[in-house]
Amino acid sequence: MGLNDSWAQKSIHTTNPMARDQVANLFDQFEIIRFRERDEEGTTALGVQKQWHTYSVIARKY
């Protein structure tokens, strides 16, 4: 979860939002094949509008 996600600050659950470089640092022993960042408004499965800020990583361990 990225820092701009609506749930990063407004969730009743504990979350661990991270900046892009923090996420990338988690993969310092990996070959990153694909790194995608999504930061846009969208709708949840329940039809509620929110800001999505997520990272998707495909990586391979050296």
Per-residue pLDDT reduced to its tens digit, 12-57: 899 999 999 999 999 999 999 999 999 999 999 999 999 999 999 9
List the structure tokens of 23: 């996420």
pLDDT of residue 22: 98
Euclidean distance between the first and the last CA atom of the chain, given in angstroms as a whole number: 25
The H or E element that residue 23 is part of is helix 20-25
Does residue 32 lie within any of the structural domains?
yes
Count the domains in the chain. Answer: 1
pLDDT of residue 9: 85
Which of 34, 36, 38 shows the shortest CA–CA distance to 59?
A: 34
**Structural domain harbouring 11:** 6-61
Residue 15's identity, in one-letter code, is T
Does residue 52 lie within any of the structural domains?
yes
pLDDT of residue 10: 82
Does residue 1 lie within any of the structural domains?
no
Q: Which residue has the higher pLDDT, 10 or 52?
A: 52
Could you tell me if 39 and 4 are in contact, meaning their C-beta atoms sit under 8 angstroms apart?
yes
